[in-house]
Structure 1
Amino acid sequence: MKVDAPVELVFIPSPGMGHLVPMVEIAKQLIGRDYRLSITVLVMKMPLFDKSKIGSTTQSLLLTAAEERLNFVYLPQQDQAEVRSKDFILELIDMNKQHVRDHVTKMVSTELRRLAGFVIDMFCTPMMDVAAEFGIPTYVFFPSSCAFLGLMFHLETLERDHNHDVTELKDSDAELEVPGFTNPVPAKVLPSRVLDKEGGSTRFLGIFKRFREAKGIMVNTFEELESYAVKSLAGDDKVPPIYNVGPVLHLLKDKKEEEEEEVNQIMRWLDDQPPSSVVFLCFGSMGSFDEDQVREIAQALEQSSHRFLWSVRQPQPKGKIGMPSEYQDLNQVLPEGFLERTTKIGKVIGWAPQVAVLSHKAVGGFVSHCGWNSTLESLWCGVPMATWPMYAEQQMNAFQLVRELELAVEIKLDYRKDFRFYYSKPKLVTADEIENGIRKLMENEDKSTEGIKNKVQEMSEKSKIAVKEGGSSYDSIGGFIEDAMNNMHSP
């Protein structure tokens, strides 16, 4: 059947770098694969991110990504967007339902638009109601791992069908048998939201209950990375079709980033370092530590004597939710004389151009918070990781990387510093623990560490093959496009 007008998909990401960026990247891939496709991205604004360095970087990405069949529409600002509750993201999305409804109504009023469906971020399930009003299906873009998706379906089933109260696992030493994992999963690595007794767990699991209504789920992973979890989900007839489309990464430098002197200084410093000699420490867009923990990291770096590039961010004042900021004077948080003593082997920075750093030949290891985007970037670049998770599903990712996939060394698996303050102050990770992790990561004395480095290099090659023509993710994207096009032919 001939398609006379462009077939339109409406993308609805939730705000935040880790959600917005991969959705923009998969949108670019889709329109690049099929000339019939046009995509409109509806962008929700939130002051929490807009005033930060991350916000300006995201803004730059959107401006450079816009092209003929990829349009960005900024929804009206919500005055209540700086909600201080644990569910402020979900509340923001609910507030934007009417704005989405109004814009899509305008879109369908012209004969030039043929809507094939919504593609929503994992937190945007309330938008499924809007899609249903227009008689179109909803797809989900899931920005984390296939194993984590399978875990959440499993926990949702336990609560719904077997009356299990998952929150009872908080502070438990229990281990769970979970489809998609070959090893028992310790309760201590479950996400904070799942363990929240104040209603957060039920609301969070409700997201995955609604996932079952979707026409399909795109997951930012690739079969070769998570073969066991991929097969497990594919065999579950109560789950919508899964499209493993990753790694979906933003690899190109932004023009604005290239023009910044602080970025150029970082890259020039790396240019002067020997190959694979630098350990890079960076903890994501929301990651920061208090002064006691910063000093332990500094001591560990001095003790290890390894070259380092360390991103240090200033946390928000206690009780306030927001993005970490830049220190005006690093000496106020670092041990006295640290910068002078390490000047020949280290560089301490604020915000980091992460992909550019991981891509540099001087970087030999990555101490990471284990955010899924960062994990995929590190694997793509062939840089082994040491795990130090902080919030969201990062403890699960750390467990998967260390125990399931044997692609990382452990500093911690169960460290927890959630910016929504579900947990009390985290236990201090000592300088000796950190130094031990850095040595395992950067030195080849341990055969298991050497095996990890080899596996990471192999996975790096597999990740690149997956997205090329004929690769597993390339074919999966083709399957998604075919399904979306068939929506236009259905009665």
Structure 2
Amino acid sequence: MFNRAVSQMEIHMPHVALLSSPGLGHIIPVIELGKRLVLQHNLKLTILVVASQTSEAEDQLMKSVMSDKLCDIVEVAVPDISDLIDANDGIVTRLRVMMRQVCPSLRSVLCSLRPSVLIVDIFGFEALSIAEELKIPKFIYVASHAWFTSLLIYTTVLDRQVQGQYVDQEEPFQIPGCSPVRPEDVFDPMLDRNTREYQEYLRVAFGMLKSDGLLLNSWEDVQHKDLESLRDPDLLGGILKVPVYGIGPLVRPAESNSQDSNRNLFDWLDKQSFESVIFVSFGSGGTLSFEQTTEVAWGLELSQQRFIWVTRPPTAGRADSAFFSTGDGGSQQSDRDDHHPSNFLPEGFLSRTKNIGVVVQQWAPQAALLSHPSVGGFLSHCGWNSTLESLTNGVPMIAWPLYAEQRMNATLLEEELGVAVRPKVLPTKKVVERDETATMVKQIMKLNNNPIRDRARLIQHSALKALSEAGSSFIALSQLAQQCQKCPNQ
């Protein structure tokens, strides 16, 4: 447990408890929300992090927050769940089991804290019943976008309406007030309705309806239609009856590039031309097959574009197989001999590309890299945190979805926002060959007369405007903070 001294003034502040599921992808947006509640709205904050075994990167992140003396962070340990899950269980099932099993410990913590308000992420919805017991307002923070949220909630209707498997349907799913969703773009748990993963996902969808309001990591200018569909009582079958706040884009600040482990990387980047480097990373949980890794390598080499590539050893298993085993932020694991890129990249690739590219093992300071003026493109798995980090820096993308809701994110980026290109066939269905990869790299890295790059800059300006004091997201979070200010200390 991390803790700090509490000032006399804080005793009289409304106390917000923020609950995060395991994993950097969940902890980062929760912490960024917490920072804004403290710094901009003068609320007292405790962040509750559910973790079975925190990684080095997670520990560093939490210690950084504590060193700023912004809040308390409490780690809530997960009991052994090995007897409750199978080896083939997916991310949603594992997270749901963890969050369910931690409820007794969480109840004890919350009863001790007696917060004024409880905010949970989507996998922690069962903690809302504890808030009911304590008679405090309760909100769900969806660290994703409005279109995602609409499909998630509307699955409670689709589950009754759709016969057979979602992926076998011939027509897109019509979500009232939103863009249709193609069957191939549904979330991973919807790929097979006969699994435990789908049942757990459906429980999450119903759990979304139990809050007093939803906070979304998106903003009005880019998703006004989808946000309004969530707010309209006549849409979504009238099933959502609570306020919806677009408070994004909340992203982590750029990491310091002065650390010894990153100095060589940034020294190289500082010497490159403006927007001449493409950054390649598949997130903290994404992995590629050996064949796909080989094709990506050849594609980068054929493009002759300067690059930074964060590599991970290929796998023959699921694309999300690294989700619960990575995010070490440069631990000893990344130094193991069998993880060295020379063991899985094409023979001679490292020597042939040494003048145009840098290959990094396992982890790199992504936020700092995307904010660097020499980086002009991002080949990404389209996780929403990574997507927002790219959008807020005006960096166009190659959308390469692997798992979870990333296929939907890729469609949003290419077809609605116009800031990305993507392979003709989903990477999870077919290996993307080297020539196509090289073509996409050249397309987004073109500096002049490039509508994708121009659109990315417009979205960046829109994001900055939303977060400004007169912006829609600042106003939305202020409205939430005002509700919290009215809640008495328990």
Where on the TM-score scale, by shorter chain, does this alignment land: which range?
0.7 to 0.9
- In terms of mean alpha carbon deviation, does 66-75 or 366-375 score higher? 66-75
| 1:74 counterpart SS class | strand
What per-residue deviation string (whole Å, max 9, x for no partner) do you get for residues 266-298 of structure 1? Answer: 111111111111111111110121221111011
Counterpart in the other structure of 1:7: 14
Q: 2:213 aligns with which of 213, 216, 222?
A: 216
* Partners of 1:180 and 1:230 within 8 A in 2: no
Counterpart in the other structure of 2:48: 42
Counterpart in the other structure of 1:304: 303
Counterpart in the other structure of 1:194: 190
CA distance in 2, matches of 1:487, 1:302: 58
Displacement of 1:315 in angstroms is: 4.7
Q: 1:104 aligns with which of 105, 110, 124?
A: 110
Counterpart in the other structure of 1:207: 204
* Partners of 2:155 and 2:205 within 8 A in 1: no
2:39 is the counterpart of 1:32: yes
2:338 is the counterpart of 1:331: no
* 1:11-26 pair list within 5 angstroms: 11-26=18-33
1:163–1:231 distance in 2 versus 1, CA, 3 Å = closer
Structure 2 residue ranges without an equivalent (≥5): 1-9, 327-332
Counterpart in the other structure of 1:249: 251
* Partners of 1:156 and 1:206 within 8 A in 2: no
CA distance in 1, matches of 2:136, 2:260: 44
Counterpart in the other structure of 1:139: 139
CA distance in 2, matches of 1:431, 1:31: 48
Q: 2:440 aligns with which of 437, 442, 445?
A: 437
Counterpart in the other structure of 1:259: 259
1:411–1:163 distance in 2 versus 1, CA, 3 Å = closer
Counterpart in the other structure of 2:7: none
1:168–1:462 distance in 2 versus 1, CA, 3 Å = same
CA distance in 2, matches of 1:69, 1:409: 39
Amino acid at match of 2:473: S
| 1:310 counterpart SS class | strand
| 2:418 counterpart SS class | coil
| 1:335 counterpart SS class | coil
| 1:225 counterpart SS class | helix
Counterpart in the other structure of 2:97: 91
| 1:118 counterpart SS class | strand
What per-residue deviation string (whole Å, max 9, x for no partner) do you get for residues 386-426 of structure 1? Answer: 1100111000000111112212112257333xxxxxxxxx5
* Partners of 1:310 and 1:347 within 8 A in 2: yes
TM-score w.r.t. the length of structure 1 is 0.87
Counterpart in the other structure of 1:225: 222
Displacement of 1:81 in angstroms is: 6.4
Counterpart in the other structure of 1:395: 407
Counterpart in the other structure of 2:75: 74
Aligned residues: 457
Displacement of 1:265 in angstroms is: 1.5
* 1:90-489 pair list within 5 angstroms: 90-108=96-114, 115-159=115-159, 162-165=160-163, 168-182=165-179, 184-196=180-192, 197-236=194-233, 238-239=239-240, 240-253=242-255, 258-261=258-261, 263-315=262-314, 318=317, 322-324=324-326, 326=334, 328-350=339-361, 351-411=363-423, 414-416=426-428, 426-443=429-446, 450-488=450-488
1:406–1:318 distance in 2 versus 1, CA, 3 Å = closer
* Partners of 2:51 and 2:78 within 8 A in 1: yes
Same amino acid, percent of matched pairs: 29
Amino acid at match of 2:183: A
* Partners of 1:315 and 1:323 within 8 A in 2: no
CA distance in 2, matches of 1:370, 1:231: 24
Displacement of 1:489 in angstroms is: 9.7
* Partners of 1:172 and 1:188 within 8 A in 2: no
* Partners of 2:117 and 2:137 within 8 A in 1: yes
1:429–1:220 distance in 2 versus 1, CA, 3 Å = same
What per-residue deviation string (whole Å, max 9, x for no partner) do you get for residues 310-332 of structure 1? Answer: 11112567487643563542111
Displacement of 1:64 in angstroms is: 1.6
* Partners of 2:275 and 2:376 within 8 A in 1: yes
- In terms of mean alpha carbon deviation, does 431-440 or 330-339 score higher? 431-440
Amino acid at match of 1:269: W
| 2:379 counterpart SS class | strand
Q: CA RMSD in A?
A: 2.4
Amino acid at match of 1:143: A
Amino acid at match of 1:364: G
| 2:308 counterpart SS class | strand
* Partners of 1:217 and 1:241 within 8 A in 2: yes
Amino acid at match of 1:144: S
* Partners of 2:17 and 2:48 within 8 A in 1: yes
Amino acid at match of 1:443: K
CA distance in 2, matches of 1:81, 1:29: 37
| 2:12 counterpart SS class | coil
Structure 1 residue ranges without an equivalent (≥5): 109-114, 417-425
Counterpart in the other structure of 1:422: none
* Partners of 1:387 and 1:412 within 8 A in 2: no
